[in-house]
């Protein structure tokens, strides 16, 4: 009955803690994040602190030998102590051993806590889900920015529009056909009043890919996406960042995947890395970028807005 009552009390305490105390779920391990400070959970901190007293070849003593002896002593306790049963208050030796163990455990734990440098843990369970525009690839989001900058909707939206509704007509074309039309509208549509679109080949490709994704649902991206993100995506494409980095499942993986960058780096670090990559990432092949304040704010803001994973069902990068 006493054992049952003790187990029941322990269960009630654990249940109350699980309901009342929030334990954040941190992001997945990232070997490229040199600012993260690895530490075990609080109930293993005493063992972590013990390792500081045994360095080099003696490390096995603190990590294996001492814990094994302690567990072995617990297992052998019923066989070593063969005396008659006595009240707890009369078991001076046992109480002394327990008290010394508790003092040692508490002291080592507090020492480990005090010696741990402060770090900012990111609670990924509190991060709101990404907006639809954040799921677009850089080339598509850059295309959305160009669509808005060139005011394509001014002639291709509504019943009295000068041109066809792009939500339906663009789907019947390929990207190559759209790019040809942008460059020479009169050659593909006789009598067209549309002027040639004066954009680079890369920008035309981005615009075409965005238009091929246009639907009544994705059209709202133009209103939801902040102008800074659209401009940042256009700058990302202009600098050909996708040749080394992957975003939302597109691009190369010569460098780190940039999804979830806000969970690993802050704005100051990203700006310093653009200005002097070798200082923060020795040996990197990334060249320095001399962005002006406005462009630096645009591309940094865009990178910090990237969701943690390319799609809702994918693990964090």
Distances in Å between the alpha carbon of 115 and those of 37, 45, 129, 311? 12, 11, 35, 39
Query: CA 158 from chain center: how many Å?
Result: 40
**280, 269 in Cβ contact below 8 A?**
yes
Between 25 and 244, where is the model more confident? 244
Four-CA torsion 215, 219, 224, 230, nearest 10 degrees? 110
Helix orientation angle between 267-275 and 293-304, rounded to the nearest 10 degrees: 130
- Cβ atoms < 10 Å from Cβ of 171: 12
Residue 16, pLDDT above cutoff 90: yes
Q: In residues, how long is the chain?
A: 317
**234, 145 in Cβ contact below 8 A?**
yes
Cα(130)–Cα(141) distance, rounded to whole angstroms?
Answer: 14
Tell me the pLDDT of the chain averaged across its residues: 80
Between 158 and 186, where is the model more confident? 186
Residue 181, pLDDT score:
78
Confidence of residue 120 (pLDDT cuts 50, 70, 90): low
Write out pLDDT tens, residues 127-166: 566 777 888 888 888 888 888 787 777 776 655 566 666 6
Residue 12, pLDDT above cutoff 90: yes
- Cβ atoms < 10 Å from Cβ of 259: 24
User: Which residues face 246 on adjacent strands?
Assistant: 251
Between 135 and 120, where is the model more confident? 135
Most trustworthy range by pLDDT among 95-109, 188-202, 203-217: 95-109
Most trustworthy range by pLDDT among 52-61, 104-113, 200-209: 104-113
The highest-level CATH class for domain 129-224 is mainly beta
Q: What is the mean pLDDT of residues 175-194?
A: 76
The domain spans of the chain are 2-126, 129-224
Residue 315, pLDDT score:
36
Q: Are strands 246-247 and 250-251 parallel, antiparallel or unpaired?
A: antiparallel
Q: Looking at residue 276, what DSSP letter applies? A: -
Percent share of the chain, pLDDT over 70: 79
Residue 106, pLDDT above cutoff 90: yes
Long-range residue pairs from 240-243, CB within 8 A, at least 24 positions apart, any chain: 241/138, 242/138, 242/139
Q: Which of 43-57, 108-122, 124-138, 153-167 has the lowest mean pLDDT?
A: 153-167
Residue 162, pLDDT score:
67
**286, 244 in Cβ contact below 8 A?**
yes
Between 208 and 12, where is the model more confident? 12
List all residues 6 or more positions away from 47 whose beta carbon is below 8 Å from its beta carbon.
Answer: 40, 62, 63, 67, 108
Residue 216, pLDDT above cutoff 90: no
Cα(204)–Cα(155) distance, rounded to whole angstroms?
Answer: 18
Cα(33)–Cα(43) distance, rounded to whole angstroms?
Answer: 25
Distances in Å between the alpha carbon of 59 and those of 16, 65, 132, 293? 38, 9, 51, 50
Three-state DSSP class for 26? strand
CATH topology of domain 2-126: Helix Hairpins (1.10.287)
Angle at 277 between CA 273 and CA 280, to 5 degrees: 75
Write out pLDDT tens, residues 262-315: 888 888 899 999 999 988 888 888 999 989 999 999 999 999 888 886 544 433
Confidence of residue 209 (pLDDT cuts 50, 70, 90): confident
Residue 169, pLDDT score:
56
Between 276 and 226, where is the model more confident? 276
Residue 173, pLDDT score:
74
List all residues 6 or more positions away from 216 whose beta carbon is below 8 Å from its beta carbon.
Answer: 167
For residue 145 the two structure tokens come to 């920015």
Cα(45)–Cα(111) distance, rounded to whole angstroms?
Answer: 9
Residue 11, pLDDT score:
97
Residue 265, pLDDT score:
85
Between 312 and 14, where is the model more confident? 14
Residue 213, pLDDT score:
72
Residue 86, pLDDT above cutoff 90: no
């Amino acid at each position: 009955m006493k054992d049952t009552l003790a187990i029941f009390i322990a269960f009630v305490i654990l249940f109350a803690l699980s309901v009342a105390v929030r334990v954040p779920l941190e992001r997945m391990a990232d070997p490229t994040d040199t600012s993260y400070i690895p530490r075990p959970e609080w109930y293993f901190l005493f063992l972590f602190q013990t390792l500081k007293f045994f360095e080099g070849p003696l490390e096995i003593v603190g990590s294996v030998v001492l814990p094994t002896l302690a567990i072995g002593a617990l297992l052998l306790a019923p066989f070593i102590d063969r005396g008659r049963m006595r009240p707890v208050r009369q078991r001076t030796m046992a109480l002394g051993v327990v008290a010394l163990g508790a003092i040692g455990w508490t002291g080592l734990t507090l020492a480990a806590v005090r010696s741990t440098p402060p770090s900012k843990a990111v609670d990924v369970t509190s991060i709101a889900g990404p907006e639809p525009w954040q799921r677009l690839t850089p080339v598509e989001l850059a295309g959305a920015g160009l669509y808005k900058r060139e005011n394509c909707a001014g002639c291709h939206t509504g019943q009295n529009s000068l041109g066809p509704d792009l939500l339906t007509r663009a789907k019947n074309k390929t990207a190559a056909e759209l790019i040809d039309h942008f460059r020479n509208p009169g050659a593909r549509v006789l009598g067209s009043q549309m002027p040639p679109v004066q954009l680079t080949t890369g920008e035309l490709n981005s615009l075409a890919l965005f238009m091929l994704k246009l639907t009544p649902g994705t059209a709202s991206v133009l209103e939801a996406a902040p102008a800074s993100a659209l401009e940042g995506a256009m700058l990302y494409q202009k600098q050909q960042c996708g040749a080394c980095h992957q975003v939302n499942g597109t691009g190369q993986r010569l460098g780190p995947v940039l999804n979830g960058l806000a969970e690993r780096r802050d704005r100051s670090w990203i700006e310093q890395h653009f200005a002097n990559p070798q200082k923060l990432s020795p040996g990197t092949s990334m060249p320095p970028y001399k962005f002006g304040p406005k462009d630096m704010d645009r591309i940094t803001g865009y990178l910090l807005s990237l969701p943690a994973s390319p799609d809702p069902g994918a693990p964090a990068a």
